[in-house]
Amino acid sequence: MPKSQIHLKVFCVDVENMIPMLVFLILKPGTVRLWSVTFENPNPCALKGSLVEFRCSYNYTDGETVRKTAWYKGALKNGIWVRVALSDLPSYQNRSEYLGDLQHNCSLAIHDLQDNDTGHYYFSFDTDMYGRRSKRSVYLSVTGLSARVYPDSVRAGDTVSLECRKSCQLPSVVWFKDGRLVAQPHFQAQAKHSGNYLCVVEGHESVLSDPVALDVQYPPLNVSVEVSRPGSLTVDSSVNLTCSSAANPAADNYTWYRGTVSSSSSMFQVGSGQVLSLPSVASNTGLYLCQARNRLGESNSTEVLVTVDKTDINRLILLVGVGVKVVIVLLLTLVIVWAWRQRRKSAVGKQENDRDYENVTA
């Protein structure tokens, strides 16, 4: 064997987040030619729809001049691992952008990432003397965000966890509920927590997960009674009492209780249904409350006083008084008229007798 034989040696050194590839070509003993390609982050993870940048630098022996650079994607074709230039892949033509130059920068950007952009990417460059391609690759993972709520069915008081699923490690995730930032992804469920949640990655707020609904179920709260005719009620008013409450699921069973004003402690059931109709107030005065119920529980309203207005009672008394007076006056009038008539009758009789007497005497 001649002494000018070519010896090839390959070294691959893994430094944290950095893979320099050093290929020493020893052409002649004593003459060292060195070249390298360095990826700042060989395992980037990026969000679907976002932009990724492969920061990359390359080096070669002083004196060489770079003529051409290219990025390739690795693909299996008929069971063989091949590298296809991005420039030959139509789906990358508008989305890939070479940020590097013909000196030492070989950075690449890919816009509007798709799921199938996941894969191995290689860099190569040609100088006036050699063509070189990186042995190591950048492995890009493209992930979507998928928001989840645990558990599926939540009752007030349960501990809820929000989980933002993604297929690779990303910077911290933040949550929004109906457009507002959520402080904690774990909390004790309350009625007010119902709504639509979505997650985003900090710094990439333009890429949103699909929203996920949280439906917190709770027994009736804030039970209240509405009187159909607020203000003064007259004795013959009819009144509807309507029970309303906040509940999830909505209250579907209402019970009405009535008690006397004097002892509200003993209340008895007087009806059911969301509306209680009282045909006349006069015979139904008292304290009322409604109990709203759903399958998670029940709650009472505060007591509502249904009574005839004070001034109306006075008016009634006044009216009765006037009536009695009118009757008395009428009776008196009748008696007077009768008495007068009786007196007139007897007077006429006397006159007639007088006439007879006159006639007789005439």
Q: How far is the CB of 111 from ligand NAG (least distance, A)?
A: 11
Amino acid identity, residue 232? S
Query: How many residues form the binding site for ligand NAG (CB under 6 A)?
Result: 29
Q: Residues 17, 65, 87, 91: which binds ligand NAG (CB under 6 A)?
A: 91
Q: Residues 10, 13, 34, 319: which binds ligand NAG (CB under 6 A)?
A: 34
C-alpha 106/C-alpha 93 separation (Å) is: 17
Backbone phi and psi for residue 97, each to the nearest 5 degrees, phi listed first: -140, 120
- Indicate whether 221 belongs to the interface with ligand NAG (CB under 6 A): yes
- Indicate whether 114 belongs to the interface with ligand NAG (CB under 6 A): yes
Nearer to ligand NAG, 83 or 293 (CB): 293
- Candidate ranges 85-93, 124-132, 154-162, 335-343; the one touching ligand NAG (CB under 6 A): 85-93
Q: Which residues 183-212 are close enough to bind ligand NAG by CB under 6 A?
A: 191
Nearer to ligand NAG, 203 or 279 (CB): 279
- Indicate whether 260 belongs to the interface with ligand NAG (CB under 6 A): no
Pairing of strands 45-47, 138-143: parallel
Q: How far is the CB of 34 from ligand NAG (least distance, A)?
A: 6
Nearer to ligand NAG, 277 or 351 (CB): 277
C-alpha 37/C-alpha 69 separation (Å) is: 12
Sequence-distant (6+) residues with CB within 8 A of 50 are 112, 113, 204, 206, 207
- Indicate whether 238 belongs to the interface with ligand NAG (CB under 6 A): yes
- Token match 């290219």: residue? 70
Nearer to ligand NAG, 33 or 204 (CB): 33
Q: Residues 5, 78, 116, 169: which binds ligand NAG (CB under 6 A)?
A: 116
Q: Residues 41, 50, 59, 118: which binds ligand NAG (CB under 6 A)?
A: 59
Measuring CA to CA, which residue among 280, 308, 299, 287 is closest to residue 224? 299
C-alpha 257/C-alpha 291 separation (Å) is: 8
- Indicate whether 246 belongs to the interface with ligand NAG (CB under 6 A): yes
Q: How far is the CB of 199 from ligand NAG (least distance, A)?
A: 23
15 forms beta bridges with: 18
Q: How far is the CB of 161 from ligand NAG (least distance, A)?
A: 22
- Indicate whether 87 belongs to the interface with ligand NAG (CB under 6 A): no
- Indicate whether 94 belongs to the interface with ligand NAG (CB under 6 A): yes
Which residues would be at the binding site for ligand NAG (CB under 6 A)? 34, 57, 59, 89-91, 93-94, 104, 114, 116, 191, 221-222, 228-229, 238-240, 246, 253, 257, 267, 277, 289, 291, 293, 298, 300
